[in-house]
Structure 1
């Protein structure tokens, strides 16, 4: 029997990038999936590929995570379809990365907070009654941008550090229900990063040179497999942690 057969896993932003890599890893383990996001075409393409390749059921939910009512409707639809929630993975995030702090408008800042921090909060709150029943797992995504204070990442870093704080409080409050809550800070290869490599090959090589393992993480094999471990019985006692999955580039005391 596959490790996640008959389990229900929600992946926000699951139609592409890191989210799709995570969804693929869980599909290989037999999980039924819920992919959420704002672009229906992207989600439907991912659904078709995952169902065809891995013979799992995939529910698509078009929703803006920063809108409370969208999330409530999505969770209601998920429970009506599957009857339960076992794992919640909050991966989706938008931001004006690259803009200096003083260049940010309130709308720019709101974009990061709404799509990241509020979306994580809404999904966690609405999923909690069902996670209690399954003694489920939550995995949220933060970033080295917040931990290290990276240039041009003010709103993104603020949202991600807010997610880390939210996750630690949930760890304290939800431990009695045997729900574990963890945070991953990844350094992962995405389509956007591939485009950046082609546009700025010298800067890319310099960046790679600063990673001891000499590569960026893979969304499925590195990020997805860690999510599977943290959501399984093997990783159940791990909770409240921020795990930097950055090939050694995040070394710190």
Structure 2
């Protein structure tokens, strides 16, 4: 029996959709039938993602903007609704990262990660709320296993990502009566940034392979994107306020 795509008729907005995990999520949502808006600061990267979706027969629109700017975030949501008539899925993926030891972490480092992370998520969720209430939609925010584990050199990044998890739990409780689900995904994926880092640190690559029970980093579309597509579908309609560790078992909690 042929399986129907799970997100036909849905509209998704993915921030930071030009590369890596964001690109993988956008491709997977489109593969399940959703119309997708991808946003980011670099137009060429967004065009690449949009081009792949279009070649596969999907509906896609791109919006260039910086999630660290409230006006840009409002415009991203407004253009999504104008282009496709509504909003069912919000994926807050964009996040600037700073990696330094705690004693060397500056206020500017923390401000950058907060502005592009929890503040951007906060602004996007507020802007999207009226449309998500109408559609009884779903929000997926991106956390990090580095923050959950408290990995060294991730002070500012970990602060930002754990703030996003706290905000997500509050939203899940407050917005549940509206039929809106809010969940967090903590991925470990072979993004361009991860590829560059591991190429420059071959010993770290070997350590990672040993740390992950499944023995590899995830593929942005096949492992992370498809999981997010399932999460926002009706198949997972009773899950909210959860954190899904999509990192091959590297972080085994409890």
TM-score (norm 2): 0.95
The separation in 1 between residues aligned to 2:117 and 2:240, in whole angstroms, is 20
Shift of 1:49: 1.9
Shift of 1:252: 2.3
The answer to whether structure 1 residue 162 and structure 2 residue 163 are counterparts is yes
Residue in 1 aligned with 2:65? 63
CA deviations 1:155-198 (Å, max 9, x no partner) are: 10010000000000000110001111100111111122222332
| Worse overlay, 123-132 or 145-154 | 145-154
The separation in 1 between residues aligned to 2:227 and 2:26, in whole angstroms, is 12
Residue in 1 aligned with 2:194? 193
Partner SS, residue 174 of structure 2: helix
CA deviations 1:82-120 (Å, max 9, x no partner) are: 1100100001100212x1122122211111001111111
CA deviations 1:127-178 (Å, max 9, x no partner) are: 0100011110000011122211110101100100000000000001100011
Residue in 2 aligned with 1:129? 130
The answer to whether structure 1 residue 25 and structure 2 residue 23 are counterparts is no
The 5-angstrom pairing of residues 134-213 of structure 1 reads 134-213=135-214
8 Å CA contact 2:184–2:241 kept in 1: the answer is: yes
Residue in 2 aligned with 1:7? 10
The answer for unaligned runs of 5 or more in structure 1 is none
Partner SS, residue 244 of structure 1: strand
Residue in 2 aligned with 1:82? 84
Residues paired across the two proteins, number: 251
The answer for unaligned runs of 5 or more in structure 2 is none
Residue in 2 aligned with 1:248? 249
TM-score (norm 1): 0.96
The separation in 2 between residues aligned to 1:60 and 1:252, in whole angstroms, is 37
Shift of 1:59: 1.1
Structure 1 runs of 4+ aligned residues shifted over 3 Å read: none
Partner SS, residue 36 of structure 1: strand
Partner SS, residue 90 of structure 2: strand
Residue in 1 aligned with 2:93? 91
- Superposition RMSD in Å: 1.1
Shift of 1:202: 2.5
The separation in 1 between residues aligned to 2:63 and 2:31, in whole angstroms, is 21
The separation in 2 between residues aligned to 1:203 and 1:77, in whole angstroms, is 42
| Worse overlay, 186-195 or 236-245 | 186-195
